[in-house]
């Protein structure tokens, strides 16, 4: 299960690149272009790690993570964001977020 990664990213190029990259390094990748799709996946598919974009067209990334936690998702959460604001930190401090990464992100860091 830890080999499954959920990529939640609305920018298609980035989503496809992340999927390609993680697959190339041996992960199984699920992806979602928006918050609702991500939640739907989380309800049905197990995954060990999720990369979450904060700026999503429908539901904001922190809300998506909060709902995942509410639904008992225990996977590691990594935030990928174009805008890093301190306010995010407080919003997600209780969500056991593994790491917050700012775009553009180093793929090797992701791999770690």
In the complex, which residues of this chain contact another protein (CB under 8 A)? 11-14, 16-18, 20-21, 24, 55, 80, 82-83, 102-108
User: Minimal CA–CA distance to 53: which of 8, 98, 105, 106?
Assistant: 8
- Give the C-alpha separation, 95 to 57, whole Å: 21
Rounded least distance, CB 74 to another protein, Å: 27
Quote the DSSP letter at residue 93: G
| Beta-carbon count within 10 A of 97 CB | 18
- Closer to another protein by Cβ: residue 106 or 112: 106
Rounded least distance, CB 109 to another protein, Å: 10
- Closer to another protein by Cβ: residue 94 or 106: 106
């Amino acid at each position: 299960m830890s080999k499954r990664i959920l990529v939640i990213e609305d920018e298609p190029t980035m989503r496809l690149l992340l999927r390609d990259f993680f697959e190339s390094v041996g992960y199984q990748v699920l992806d979602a272009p928006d918050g609702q799709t991500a939640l739907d996946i989380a309800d049905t598919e197990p995954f060990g790690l999720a990369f979450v974009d904060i700026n999503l067209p429908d539901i904001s990334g922190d809300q998506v993570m909060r709902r995942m936690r509410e639904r008992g998702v225990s996977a590691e959460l990594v935030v990928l964001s174009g805008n890093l604001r301190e306010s995010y930190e407080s919003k997600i401090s209780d969500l056991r977020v593994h790491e917050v990464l700012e775009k553009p992100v180093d793929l090797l860091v992701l791999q770690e």
